[in-house]
């Protein structure tokens, strides 16, 4: 599963420090989430989505990472 936090943050013009200010989540932790080094908690997802005024589902790509060959 891929997270689109960086793309959405950049698209909306938020800096890491802005998101830290509005969510209370450390800018370094947000950076680690963006890089896939840590998984966000449900509370963090809700805070980030709320600040950026998007559905929490928009942060993620739920498509399968592996395509199955049906031969």
Span 4-26, pLDDT tens digits: 999 999 999 999 999 999 999 99
For residue 41, is pLDDT > 70? yes
Residue 17, domain member (yes or no): yes
Domain ranges, residue 51: 2-61
In contact, 30 and 5? CB cutoff 8 Å = yes
Mean predicted lDDT score pLDDT of the chain: 89
Instruction: Return the number of other C-beta atoms located less than 10 Å from residue 44's C-beta.
Output: 18
HSE (CB half, 13 Å, CA atoms) of 21?
A: 5
Residue 40, domain member (yes or no): yes
What's the confidence (pLDDT) of residue 43? 97
pTM of the predicted model, to two decimals?
Answer: 0.81
Tokens linked to 3: 């997270």
Question: How far apart are alpha carbons 11 and 5 in whole angstroms?
Answer: 10
Q: Domain holding 54: CATH number?
A: 1.10.260.40
> From residue 7, how far is each of 35, 67, 69 by CA, in Å?
11, 24, 30
What's the confidence (pLDDT) of residue 3? 82
Q: How many domains does the chain have?
A: 1
């Amino acid at each position: 599963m891929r997270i689109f936090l960086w793309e959405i943050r950049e698209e909306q013009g938020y800096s890491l420090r802005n998101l830290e200010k509005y969510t209370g989540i450390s800018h370094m932790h947000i950076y680690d989430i963006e890089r896939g080094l840590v998984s966000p908690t449900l509370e963090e997802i809700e805070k980030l989505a709320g600040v950026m005024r998007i559905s929490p589902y928009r942060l993620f790509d739920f498509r399968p990472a592996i395509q199955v060959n049906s031969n």
